[in-house]
Amino acid sequence: MQKRTSAEYAGKQLLFSILFSAGAGASVCAAALCLLAKLIVATQPSAWWAIPISIIAVMAGCFVSGYILARRMGQNGLFCGLCCGLFFFLIFLLAAMLSGSHEYTAFAAIKCVCYSLAGALGGYIGLLSSERSKRKAHTSRQ
């Protein structure tokens, strides 16, 4: 039986962190979509409100995904969050293409920016909380 090298272990930890944060973000997105759908049914707003509400739900998922990934990584918070936002946008783009929409509109570009910014903000806040917990652990040792 071979021993794992530190590079293999680090690679598996990175993959687990990415998958875990994406799963958590998708779970938050699904929960937010369910809650907002219930809100739509209860208040009966115009159909126009469905699109911004769904964007807000996906942005919440991007934020949580970026937060968790940056907190687990402990570095490059903005980049981690940006990648999470772009991952969610690629899922949106793939779903749009599979449903038959093959055109890239300005509204899709706005969604890309919104998802990326929400993920980057989550990554930044996740990195700040990671640094704060490291600082607390360091001061409690002394």
**DSSP H/E element including 111:** helix 106-141
Q: Helix crossing, 50-73 with 6-43: angle to 10°? A: 160
What pLDDT digit, counting tens, does each position of 59-105 carry? 999 999 999 999 988 888 899 899 999 999 999 889 888 988 777 78
| Prediction pTM value | 0.84
pLDDT for residue 141: 67
Confidence at 142, pLDDT banded by 50, 70, 90: low
pLDDT at 138 over 70: no
In the chain, helix, strand, coil percent, each to 5? 85, 0, 15
More confident residue, 1 or 50: 50
